[in-house]
């Protein structure tokens, strides 16, 4: 194997302030009853900026600002004008894409080639797509004159900070709602840069409010009596707590939660393509993906061949500096997440599965985990049941399509699934039977603004993306 | 000659296509009849029956489901007078029949209206289609006992779900009589299961049941109970239809939300290439 020279992307394009306030009613303000916390670069543990932590009074201020903006400005505004603001935002995202990508990789730890080529282009795409809906809601299939809900409380995770922001804010604003959004505590910085973009777009004050903080801030936000809609992406455990907290209220709820997707490889699949799909399925974004293909189900008679090829391919993966343009796998997002990945991986070994990682030199500072596969995994193993949310693949085998379906569906989750086979009728037969919201056949981890995304069962409810994504923000 | 002595009917539960008494052996006196008082065990048995029916019903063609719902309308039309004799107003019976017909037509249209091709920015075939969520626990409205009942059952089952329904506690007779209609309409056993009795007794079990995919709280009038059931439902993230407003007019156009809330959307991707 040949060596790669370092090819770091310059971080000079990012102009970080030492500290950031809360974005309420169009301005950055100091918290009234909150504190502050630091956001670090997970690849170096260097402090990037100090960020305000919103308290209950700050949440109240933001919800009031959003309410006033909804009643006086955004609600009454014609859809065609709302559309123009969203188009404007989409354009600024495209214009400042390099800055957004570098900052996302700094704060999150994901490889620059992913933030640059996947996250940020999709972010612009979601705003561009939903912008066009703002003046066509009567044609969206929800009756002639569907109405917005009011103020949306939105809480997003750290794995795709800016993309999850786009999934939340773009449809909410297009439908005529105003929002209060809380980014994850480990990745608040691109949301704050987005707040600056809202200012640059002259978006009316209060339409978008960004509250940084941790779990307490999120809880105060979703439980606030002044919100009409709650949208959450994150763990199933927190999703359950939110579903309980909104019980009996008027709040409309959409949840996009955990997953434990099966990526199913049949013996007639093109092995090289399938291996690329397996690698993409579990190592994309360090495996910090709710729809990651974290259970490989491979047909028994090709298991050895697939695993040999997979191991060879894994040995080529480059783990390291997220800003290096050749990096395939970046840093684990936080010390806490690294601990969880280690704990579950240790459980995998302890329960009798066989662990393998390619030889791989990890940087000394920061949070890192080598790409890992477990073979000899049974359905009873924790690593086959629990979401690891890291670069760890559990390999199981099957003999018949029916067995593959049964194993794939043997989970409380139902977010996504993958099928690899050359036989068209088998793809459709399998797709019919897999209880998952997104089925990728002979591909994996594809996303698009027009394509609805969301889960069955305990992976949550509601869809984001496409025409379906409007429903969660309309009174239908 | 003495006057003929009428043969009275025993009103029982409807579970898995059969008419069992409550396993508890209890009944309650309502509408001048002894009606089965369903227990928590009956509710769990009904879930087992409903789950067993999912595969066949969800797997049936939309055309087939539509024909069966239309057949229910035919059977109900034939028993129109029977429901009137039970005290259901004639216009309500007519509306209930028409509602079956309306929903029958949706079976092979909703997937077209609610799904479709997505124009993704790449060389991929991408299609979204609705699928039934599975087993739905339904609380039918207290009144109107027949139209309300039909208006919550039909939208759940037309798309392929199966249901366990708590009927109007104060007017269960139209529900049990409707079960006789369902039993003679080629509807597979277990697709609709009816529990008569107290919702305070059966619903907490159903809302917390881990093999139930959704709850419809339409007929729950006690706000505290509704909150309690919604909280229980969160344990496995059941889809929830919240209680209907007290003044809801069941004779108006139902719209499609009752159907869509009980559906999942599945999106399938495949690359295009040679």
Whether residue A139 is predicted with pLDDT greater than 80 in this model: the reply is yes
Query: What's the pLDDT at A267?
Result: 98
Residues of A in contact with B119 (CB under 8 A): 450
Nearest by CB to residue B227, choosing from A247, A412, A438, is A247
Which pLDDT value is given to residue A375?
98
B85 shares contact with chain A (CB less than 8 Å): no
Calculate mean pLDDT across residues A241-265.
98
Quote the CA–CA distance of A20 and A245 in Å, as a whole number.
30
Residue B167: half-sphere exposure toward Cβ, Cα within 13 Å: 29
Q: Do B267 and A451 make contact, defined as CB atoms within 8 angstroms? A: yes
Q: Which of residues 208-247 of B touch A (CB under 8 A)?
A: 213, 223, 226-227, 230-231, 233-237, 239
Q: Is the pLDDT of residue A27 over 70?
A: yes
- B3 Cα to chain A: minimum distance (Å): 56
B chain contacts of residue A239, beta-carbon cutoff 8 Å:
237
Give the per-residue pLDDT at A106.
98
Give chain A's contact residues with B (Cβ, < 8 Å). Answer: 125, 141, 143, 236, 239-241, 243-244, 247-248, 255, 257, 412, 427, 431, 436-443, 446, 448-454, 456-458, 460-461, 463, 466, 468, 471, 476
The pLDDT tens digits for A80-123 are: 999 999 999 999 999 999 999 999 999 999 999 999 999 999 99
Q: Using one digit for the tens of pLDDT, what is the confidence trace for A78-89? A: 999 999 999 999
The residue with tokens 């840069």 is A193
Mark yes or no for CB contact A427/B270 under 8 Å: yes
pLDDT at A143: 92
In A205-315, beta strands by DSSP E: 208-210, 229-233, 252-256, 262-265, 295-299
* Cα A358 to chain centroid, rounded: 27
The answer to whether A378 touches A398, Cβ cutoff 8 Å, is: no
Residue A40 bridge partners (DSSP): A47
- B67 class by beta-carbon count within 10 Å (0-12 exposed, 13-18 middle, 19+ buried): middle
Domain boundaries, chain B: 10-271
B141-150 pLDDT, tens digit each: 999 999 999 9
pLDDT at res. B84: 98
Measured from the Cβ of residue A12, the count of other Cβ atoms closer than 10 Å reads 7
Tokens standing for residue A430:
């399998």
The topology (CATH level 3) of B10-271 is: Aldehyde Dehydrogenase; Chain A, domain 1 (3.40.605)
User: In the predicted model, what is the mean pLDDT of residues B164-175?
Assistant: 97
Query: Is the pLDDT confidence value at B1 over 80?
Result: no
Check whether A395 has a pLDDT greater than 80: yes
Q: Which residues from chain A sit within 8 angstroms of residue B226, using beta carbons? A: 248
> pLDDT (tens digit, 9 = 90+) per residue, A226-240?
999 999 999 999 999
Distance from CA of A258 to the nearest CA of B (A): 12
B114 contacts A141? CB cut-off 8 A: yes
Nearest to A166 by CA among A258, A89, A234: A89
Q: Give me the pLDDT at residue A1, please.
A: 58
A46-78 per-position pLDDT tens digit: 999 999 999 999 999 999 999 999 999 999 999
* Dihedral sign of CA atoms B147, B152, B155, B156 in order: negative
User: For all residues of chain A together, what is the average pLDDT?
Assistant: 97
- pLDDT tier at B274 (50, 70, 90 boundaries)? confident
* Whole-number Cα distances in Å, B99 to A97, A141, B159: 53, 21, 15
Residue B49 has pLDDT above 80, yes or no: yes
Tell me: pLDDT of A34 over 90: no
Query: What distance in Å separates residue A281's CA from the closest CA in chain B?
Result: 14
Q: Who wins on pLDDT, B4 or B2?
A: B4
In this prediction, residues B159-186 reach a mean pLDDT of 97
Q: What is the mean pLDDT of residues A10-34?
A: 96
Helix spans in A70-202 (H): 79-95, 97-108, 112-114, 120-133, 161-175, 189-200
Which token pair is A168?
């939340």
Residues from chain A contacting residue B213 (CB–CB below 8 Å): 457
Nearest CA in chain A to B242: A248
Q: CA of A242: how far to CAs of A247, B200, B237, in Å?
A: 9, 24, 10
pLDDT at B2 over 90: no
Helical pair A120-133 and A161-175, crossing angle rounded to 10 deg: 10
Measured between beta carbons, the chain A residues lying within 8 angstroms of B126 are 448, 450-451
Count of Cβ atoms closer than 10 Å to residue A56 Cβ: 17
* Range A352-362 average pLDDT: 96
Mean of the per-residue pLDDT values for chain B? Answer: 97
Mutate to test the interface with B, among A248, A269, A450 (most CBs of B within 10 A): A248
Q: Is A256 a known active-site residue?
A: yes
Pairing of strands A252-256, A460-461: antiparallel
- What was the pLDDT predicted at A3? 82
Question: How far A417 CA sits from the closest chain B CA (Å)?
Answer: 10
Q: What is the mean pLDDT of residues A297-315?
A: 98
User: What is the arithmetic mean of pLDDT over A437-459?
Assistant: 98
């Amino acid at each position: 194997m040949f060596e790669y020279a370092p090819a770091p992307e310059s971080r000079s394009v990012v102009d970080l302030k030492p500290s950031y306030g809360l974005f309420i009613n169009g301005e950055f303000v100091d918290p009234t009853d909150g504190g502050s916390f630091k956001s670090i670069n997970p690849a170096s543990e260097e402090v990037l900026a100090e960020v305000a932590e919103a308290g209950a009074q700050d949440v109240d201020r933001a919800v009031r600002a959003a309410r006033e903006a909804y009643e006086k400005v955004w609600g009454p505004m014609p859809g065609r004008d709302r559309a123009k603001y969203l188009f404007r935002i989409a354009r600024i995202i495209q214009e400042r894409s390099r800055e957004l990508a570098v900052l996302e990789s700094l704060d999150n730890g994901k490889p620059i080639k992913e933030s640059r080529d996947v996250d940020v282009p999709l972010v612009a795409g979601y705003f561009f797509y939903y912008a066009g809906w703002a003046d066509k809601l009567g044609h969206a299939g929800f009756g002639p004159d569907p109405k917005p809900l009011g103020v949306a409380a939105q809480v997003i995770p750290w794995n795709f900070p800016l993309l999850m922001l786009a999934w939340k804010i773009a449809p909410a604003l297009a439908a005529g709602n105003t929002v209060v959004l809380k980014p994850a505590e480990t990745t608040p910085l691109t949301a704050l840069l987005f707040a600056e973009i809202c200012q640059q777009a002259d978006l009316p004050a209060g339409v978008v409010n960004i509250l940084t903080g941790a779990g307490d801030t999120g809880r105060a936000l979703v439980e606030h009596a002044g919100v009409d809609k709650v949208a959450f992406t994150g763990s199933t455990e927190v999703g359950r707590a939110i579903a309980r907290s909104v019980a009996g209220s008027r709040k409309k709820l959409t949840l996009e939660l955990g997953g434990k997707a099966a990526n199913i490889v049949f013996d007639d699949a093109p092995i090289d393509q399938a291996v690329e799909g397996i690698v993409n399925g579990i190592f994309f974004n360090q495996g910090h993906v709710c729809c990651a293909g974290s259970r490989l189900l491979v047909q028994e008679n090709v298991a050895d061949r697939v695993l040999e090829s997979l191991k060879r391919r894994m040995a080529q993966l480059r783990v390291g500096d997220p800003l290096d343009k050749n990096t395939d796998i970046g840093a684990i997002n936080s010390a806490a997440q690294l601990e969880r990945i280690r704990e579950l991986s240790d459980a995998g070994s302890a329960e009798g599965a066989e662990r393998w990682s390619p030889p791989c030199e990890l940087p000394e500072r920061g949070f890192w985990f080598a790409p890992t596969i477990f073979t000899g995994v049974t359905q009873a193993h924790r690593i086959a049941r629990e979401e690891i949310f890291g670069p760890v693949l559990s390999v199981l085998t099957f003999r018949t399509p029916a067995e593959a379906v049964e194993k794939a569906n043997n989970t409380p989750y139902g977010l996504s699934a993958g099928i690899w086979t050359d036989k068209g009728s088998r793809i459709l037969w399998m797709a019919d039977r897999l209880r998952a919201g997104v089925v990728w056949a002979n591909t994996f981890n594809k996303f698009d603004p027009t394509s609805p995304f969301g889960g069955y069962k305990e992976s949550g409810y509601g869809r984001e993306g496409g025409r379906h994504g409007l429903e969660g923000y309309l009174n239908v | 000659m003495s006057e003929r002595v009428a043969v009275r009917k025993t009103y029982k539960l409807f579970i898995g296509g059969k008419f069992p008494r409550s396993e508890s052996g209890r009944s309650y006196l309502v509408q001048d009849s002894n009606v089965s008082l369903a227990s928590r065990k009956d509710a769990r048995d009904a879930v087992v029956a409903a789950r067993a029916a999912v595969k066949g019903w969800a797997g049936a063609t939309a055309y087939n489901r539509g024909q069966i719902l239309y057949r229910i309308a035919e059977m109900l039309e034939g028993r129109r007078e029977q429901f009137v004799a039970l005290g259901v107003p004639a216009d309500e019976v007519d509306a209930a029949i028409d509602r079956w017909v309306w929903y029958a037509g949706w079976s092979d249209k909703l997937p077209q209206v609610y799904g479709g091709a997505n124009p993704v920015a790449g060389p991929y075939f991408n299609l979204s289609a609705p699928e039934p969520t599975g087993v739905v626990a339904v609380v039918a409205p207290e009144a109107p006992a027949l139209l309300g009942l039909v208006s919550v059952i039909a939208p759940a089952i037309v798309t392929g779900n199966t249901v366990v329904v708590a009927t109007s506690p104060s007017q269960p007779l139209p529900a049990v009589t409707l079960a006789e209609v369902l039993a003679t309409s080629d509807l597979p056993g277990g697709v609709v299961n009816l529990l008569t009795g107290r919702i305070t007794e059966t619903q907490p079990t159903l809302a917390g049941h881990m093999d139930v995919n959704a709850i419809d709280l339409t007929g729950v009038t006690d706000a505290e109970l509704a909150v309690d059931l919604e909280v229980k439902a969160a344990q496995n993230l059941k889809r929830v239809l919240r209680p209907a407003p007290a003044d809801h007019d069941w004779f108006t156009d139902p719209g499609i939300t009752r159907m869509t809330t009980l559906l999942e959307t599945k999106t399938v991707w495949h690359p295009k290439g040679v």
